[in-house]
Amino acid sequence: MVKTEILSVHVYKYFILLLLVTFILPIVKSKEQLSSRECEDLGFSGLALCSDCHTFAEYVKNQELVSDCLMCCTEDSDDSISKITYSGAILEVCMRKLVFYPEIVGFIEEEKDQFPTFKVQYLFNSPPKLMMLDDEGQHKETIRIDNWKREHMLQYLREKVKPTSAS
């Protein structure tokens, strides 16, 4: 009986160590931040929140992928993310691939004129993405929108692109 208790204590310690290595170390390591370009190269673009990475970790058991997500995310904060706005946006997409994205075509044809600082740029072989611009017209963020519906694009642009002043 004593041997069984000692064995279970060792198993318990091993289990705790395994949890520490699996979940805590990637979070601690994740405090390193990668550049926007490095994150895009890894497939993480846009303003991913760290809570999204934690949700992602529940479904994807690849710790390296979760760690990459955590190095590209932004800490959750009602103040920081919701208040970020941009002066303009560019939709970059391959004209030949547009046939596969009817929601984006519908947005371009019927909705884009609502946003005076929104432009469409056709680039060969580019997946559809929004490039968000700062006050100087410099690229600040890139968001892949492959699976977005027209309503998502409208809502996002209404929330994130500053309205132009009527001067």
pLDDT tens across 119-137, in order?
999 999 999 999 999 999 8
pLDDT tens across 92-122, in order?
999 999 999 999 999 999 999 999 999 999 9
Q: Cβ–Cβ contacts within 10 Å for residue 31, how many?
A: 9
pLDDT number for residue 24: 54
Residues in CB range of 91: below 8 A, 6 or more apart: 104, 108, 112, 118, 119, 120, 121, 128, 129, 130, 131, 145
Q: Cα torsion for 9, 14, 17, 22, to the nearest 10°?
A: -140
- Residue ranges in the chain whose pLDDT is less than 50: 21, 25-30, 166-167
What is the percent of the chain where pLDDT is above 90?
A: 38
Domains within the chain, CATH numbers bracketed: 2-76 (no CATH), 85-160 (3.40.30.50)
